[in-house]
Amino acid sequence: MKPHWIKFNFLLMAMFVLGLASQALALAPPVAMLTQVKGTVEVFKDKEWKKVTANKFIFDGTKVRTGADGAATIINQANSTSQNMAANTELEITAAAVKVVSGTLSEPQKAGGDVLSSMNQRFEEAQRYTTVRRSVDKKENDQKLATIREVTLSEQHPDMVWSNVGPEFSYRLIIDDKSIDVPATKDEMVRFKVTGLTPGSHKYRVDVIKDGASVFSPNGDRTMVWLGGAALEEFNKKLAEIKGSTPGDDFLVANFLDEKGLTVAAMDMYRKYFKANPGDIDMFPLLIKTYHDLKLNELKKEAALEYNKIMGN
């Protein structure tokens, strides 16, 4: 019996070490955000200075500088304060402090709310989904379909999505007692615009259809929340506050959408951003997380592989 216990303890130790190694490789969340960028503003990344033209999250140990025509505002996550960078200013930003290397930085002012904490929590959670695990080859006749357990939609964001199990299959979206036929597609992701729901919670499921007959129906219903009435008014009010506190920042808006259950809308905003800014990969885990939550497993795997390739993991 003794050799077996030795092997078992060794296995536990190996798993513990691998776990620590995995955590060490994970990217820590950003410590600040660069916003209200004007003129020449640059960050030091990958051993060179790179120009910034929009709001950008700043990670521990990053240098930021403005040119003769440059200006920007730094929002510090540690104490929720903002400071304005003047022209010809260089900073070194760490989790502990914002250090002025040269130039002028204004006195700290209270930022409007803890604008980064929620996003940082989501970023830390998203790190676990960047690991690409070996997957079992999908069987040719496997029609099983998983969908998000709870999702929120609205008139402004009415799209529902799920994975496509194959181009030969169509679908039946059942909301409460109403069935809606969704045609087959060759796209990796099926997208359907939901209409006609009353505000509040509804039961839904997606059946897989072939030759007019159901070949898969999930066990149990999922929840679809339609945002309207007072809940929509409160949502729009908070969204306006976020847009006002950090103008032009797609990430905080997408994070808010995701936080409120509008996961499809958050995914779309992230996809649009990374399509326009393919080199700005630091926040890519947030997109990967939306793929995970929406059960878009192939898109999640492709995105994780891309992220690890660029990050050199």
Give the percent of the chain with pLDDT over 90. 61
The predicted model scores a pTM of 0.83
Average pLDDT over residues 239-262: 87
Mean pLDDT of the chain: 86
Helices and strands in the chain: count of H runs, count of E runs: 7, 18
pLDDT band at 44 (very low <50, low <70, confident <90, very high): very high
Give the percent of the chain with pLDDT over 70. 87
Q: What gap in Å lies between CA 159 and CA 140, rounded to an integer? A: 28
Higher per-residue confidence, 291 vs 135: 291
Answer yes or no: are the C-beta atoms of 263 and 290 closer than 8 Å. Answer: yes
**Which pLDDT value is given to residue 256?**
92
Tell me the residue length of the chain. Answer: 313
**Which pLDDT value is given to residue 18?**
38
Q: Kindly tell me if the per-residue pLDDT of 14 is higher than 50.
A: no
Q: Where are the domains of the chain?
A: 32-111, 150-226, 229-311
Q: Kindly tell me if the per-residue pLDDT of 191 is higher than 80.
A: yes
Output the six-digit token pair for 193.
Answer: 């615009």
**Which pLDDT value is given to residue 139?**
55
pLDDT tens per residue across span 118-154: 778 888 899 899 988 765 555 555 679 999 999 999 9
Share in percent of the chain as helix, strand, coil (round to 5): 35, 30, 35
The CATH number given to 229-311 is 1.25.40
Residue from 74, 70, 114 nearest 94 by CA: 74
Only one residue has tokens 């099983």, namely 144
Q: Kindly tell me if the per-residue pLDDT of 28 is higher than 90.
A: no
**Which pLDDT value is given to residue 214?**
96
Of 33-37, 62-66, 179-183, 235-239, give the lowest mean pLDDT range.
Answer: 33-37
Same fold, 150-226 and 229-311: no
Give the CATH superfamily of 150-226: Immunoglobulins (2.60.40.10)
